[in-house]
Amino acid sequence: MLYAVIMAGGVGTRFWPRSRSISPKQLLNIFGEKSMIQHTVERIQPLVEANNIYVVTNIQQSATVARQLPQISRENILVEPVGRNTAPCIGLAALHIMEKDPDGVMAVLAADHLIKPVEAFCADIRFAEEIAVKTGASVTLGIIPTRPETGYGYIQYHDHESIGEDRKAFRVKAFAEKPNTDTAKRFISSGDFLWNSGMFIWKAATILKLIEEFLPELYEGLIEIKSALHHSHYDDVVNRVYRSVKGISIDYGVMEKTKDVYVIKSEFDWNDVGSWEEVYQLSKKDSSGNALTGDHVILDTTNSLVYSAEKTVAMVGVHDLIVVNTDDALLICRRDQAQDVKKIVDELQRQKRNELL
């Protein structure tokens, strides 16, 4: 049976000042009236029943997650005491799925991606599930790149090693970290690289075996947690284990080391919405190229993004800006420096301005 694991513990520092520790990007209604995590759950529900959807989040966000997703049982909202990157998160979810269904297949998804059409996405997940069941291998979805993007990781595949009949999944040759511009251009020109979407499909048993092989210290901690499932001291054990294990991504800790991985070339539209610049690119714009939300007076201004939920924003004679106005903070930056918003959050942390985090 197919299960979904939605990773929803990030803070989304590049979306400050809207994104905060208790209301990060995935819990915001950036596109439309629903939050990104609500869209994520709706997207997978044609394939996975609500009681087979798990959300992994943190204590600060768990109440909001539960409120936004009333169809998800509270028992399926797994709370991490501290963030330890994706490998512990996925291992924790795999334990719960294995306890419920030893043969369960899990689709690991981010809470804050933008994907359409849903039908194409669901078809790829179903195909990946078939491969995972048939081969016992790990499967990931790779996105056909449209530009030499430096903000994404990449997957290189073997063009002549594939499985499938009507559709093909290709054996992965290598995972590559986020490249610089020149390297990204080489990746694109080679023709055998895909963007790493961060979505994985595997048997819960498979990923636990891989964690045992490549991350034995984490595996030992997971076995401790397993022994506490359904017991009153479960939270105490999870807290102790998470305080002791190292944070590491599933890509670096497992996927870059194992050889039994296939990638599907996904052709649906995908964006991880990693910055305000991405929001600008994906938003509807007026005749001057401005993406505007809220009350505004705009004169001789072009190619800018403006968000202001309550206050009026007036702009005259400026171009290529991002302006995000909240009740307690105002962000103004050039669009080509949208990735650097994270540095603002780093500086606020250094100054211990916790009220703005």
DSSP string, 23-80: S-GGGS-SSSSS-HHHHHHHHHTTTS-GGGEEEEEETTTHHHHHHH-TTS-GGGEEEE
In the chain, the domains with their CATH numbers are 2-271 (3.90.550.10), 276-356 (no CATH)
Give the model's confidence band at 175: pLDDT under 50 very low, under 70 low, under 90 confident, else very high. very high
pTM (global) more than 0.85? yes
Instruction: Specify the DSSP element, H or E, that contains 97.
Output: helix 86-100
pLDDT over threshold 90, residue 274? no
- Kind of pairing, strands 154-163 and 169-176? antiparallel
For residue 127, what are the contacts with CB-CB under 8 A and spacing of at least 6?
A: 164, 167, 169, 264
Greatest C-alpha distance within the chain: 65
- What does the pLDDT average to over 126-155? 95
Instruction: Specify the DSSP element, H or E, that contains 104.
Output: none
| Model confidence pLDDT, tens digit, residues 83-102 | 999 999 999 999 999 999 99
| Model confidence pLDDT, tens digit, residues 192-210 | 999 999 999 999 999 999 9
Give the model's confidence band at 297: pLDDT under 50 very low, under 70 low, under 90 confident, else very high. very high
| Model confidence pLDDT, tens digit, residues 323-340 | 999 999 999 999 999 999
Determine the pLDDT at residue 10: 83
